[in-house]
Amino acid sequence: MILDLLRHGETELGGGLRGSLDDALTPTGWAQMRAAVAAVPEACTWQALVSSPLQRCARFAEELGADLGLSVQLEDGVRELHFGDWEGRSAAQIMQGEADLLGLFWADPYACTPPGGEPVGEFAARVQASVQRLAQRHAGQRVLLVTHGGVMRLLLAQARGLPREQLLQVEVGHGALKSLAVEAGRFRELT
């Protein structure tokens, strides 16, 4: 399976850790996603369209699906990491009271869970299980997955063979589009 990963665009409530918050895209966010898809070569045709259920992904997927004549499969396992008490807060806001904890999280997100949040190891297992289900369901197909920065960082870090401490060093901007080959439970980044 070829898996094209599209990160949602800018959201109404702005920066910070969005996690499981369900805010909508801004007009700029819609434009970022439309521009990413418009830049895809004509030869690239998706046979399936999958999305996180959060509206910042799903609303765009629904629009694109209508344009392409594809139904949208909502996949709960590719929703963003739940940041617990840090959701909706910027790094600067978190630094004011929890600088040490935030530093530990940035240094090794697998070893430090935000207060009340989802452990990154559980997040990774959830995302990998979802992608494996997609690979079984769509073997030999090209699939567009509309998802989140954390999901994309995780899959790209694995494809690049990065150590877990480098997870948050993977850059994934709003509207970023990246491609992976999924083969026998392994990921390989395509250029």
**Which sequence positions are flagged as catalytic?**
8, 80
Q: How far are the Cα atoms of 94, 100, 101, 145, 189 from residue 91, in angstroms, in the given order?
A: 5, 12, 11, 27, 29
Q: What angle do CA 4, 6, 12 make, to 5 degrees?
A: 170
Listed in sequence order, the residues at least 6 apart from 64 whose beta carbon sits closer than 8 Å to its beta carbon are 37, 49, 70, 144, 146
Q: Please compute Rg for the chain using Cα positions.
A: 16
Secondary structure of residue 3 in the 3-state scheme: strand
